[in-house]
Structure 1
Amino acid sequence: MQRLRVADYFFVKELPVVVISMPEQGAMAVHRHEFSELTIITAGTALHVTAEGRYPIAAGDVFFIPPDQPHGFADVRGLGLVNVLFLPKRLPEPTDELRRMAGWQALFESEPKYRDAQGFAGHLRLPPEELERVTTLVRELEAETRDYMKGGTVLVEALFTQLVVRLARSYGAHASPAGRRLLAVQKAIRHIEEKHAEAVELNVLAKKAGMSLSTFKRAFKAVTGTSPIDYLLQVRLARACHLLRDADTTVTEAALAAGFGDGNYFARQFRARMGCTPREWREKQATV
Structure 2
Amino acid sequence: MSNTIERPQTIERQEITVEELEDRAYELKEKLLRLCGSYEGSVHIGGDLSVADILTALFQYGMRVDPSDIGNPGRDRFILSKGHAAVCMYIAMAIRGFFDYDEIVRTYGKLGSAFGMHPCKVQLPGVEASTGSLGHGLPIAVGLALHARQAGLDHRVFVLMGDGETGEGSVWEGAIVGRSRELGNLVAFVDRNRQLMTSFSEDRIVLEPYADKWRAFGWNVIEVDGHDMSALVQAIDSLPATDSDRPTAVICRTVKGNGVDFMERNLGWHAGSLGAADLERALVSLSKSRKEK
Using structure 1 for the length normalisation, give the TM-score: 0.29
Which structure dedicates a bigger proportion of its chain to helix?
1
Query: Of the two, which has the highest radius of gyration?
Result: 1
Which structure dedicates a bigger proportion of its chain to strand?
1
Using structure 2 for the length normalisation, give the TM-score: 0.29
